[in-house]
Every structure is written in structure tokens, then in C-alpha cells.
Amino acid sequence: MMTQTTDNDEKSQLFRTVRALELLGKSHDAYERGDLDACDALVRQAATECGAFTVQGIRGGMIIGEIPKPDDEGWHRYLDHQRDRLAAELNAATEPEPDVDEDQ
């Protein structure tokens, strides 16, 4: 059972990470167009929906260069990769377990 809980926790964290990245990207876009109210609101939304620790972890990763910033060239590639990981995890969770013959 511990593995099931750990797998669910990892999927949940990956979902929160992808969602936070999306919202932080939108926040950056709002900042770039001069809409500071929307920028702040999107950061608050990310912290509320995904957790302040998730958002701060992502922002810290951006500061030290582990995660591209929204205005970096690799931002969209990184976000797409995280979305693909989430999709793969969700698809794997819906696939039936293979039948295992106990005699083999």
C-alpha cells in the first residue's frame, strides 16, 4: 500500500507543478503587457491552487537556473515536457494491471 500512496503523491505533486508553471507563465505574460494586477492575481492563484511551497520551489529553481524562466528560450519546451510527463503518469494509472501467473 505504501507504493500506491507514494505514486498518488507523486502524481499529485506533478499535477500541482504543471499547473503552477502554467499560471506563472500567464503571470509573466500579464507582466510583459503591463497588467500588474493580473500578474499578482495569477501568482496568488498559483499559490492558492498549488501550494505556496510548490510555487516557491519553482521560483527558487528559476533563480538557480534549474528551471527556465518564462522569458527563456527553453520555457515552452520545459513546460511541454512536464505536461507530457503528467499525461504519461495519468495514462499509466488508467492502464489495467497485466495478469501475472503465480506458477511462473
Residue 47 domain boundaries: 9-85
The answer to whether residue 49 scores a pLDDT higher than 60 is: yes
**Domain-located, residue 3:** no
pLDDT digit string (tens) for 55-64?
A: 999 999 999 9
- pTM (two decimals): 0.80
**Domain-located, residue 56:** yes
**Domain-located, residue 103:** no
Residue 99: band (very low, low, confident or very high) from pLDDT cuts 50, 70, 90 = low
Phi then psi for 102, rounded to 5 degrees?
-70, -20
The number of domains in the chain is 1
Pick the closest to residue 12 from 94, 97, 90 (CA basis). Answer: 90
pLDDT digit string (tens) for 3-31?
A: 566 778 888 999 999 999 999 999 999 99
**Domain-located, residue 19:** yes
Q: 10 Å Cβ neighbour count for 48?
A: 11
User: What percent of the chain clears pLDDT 90, i.e. is strictly above it?
Assistant: 71
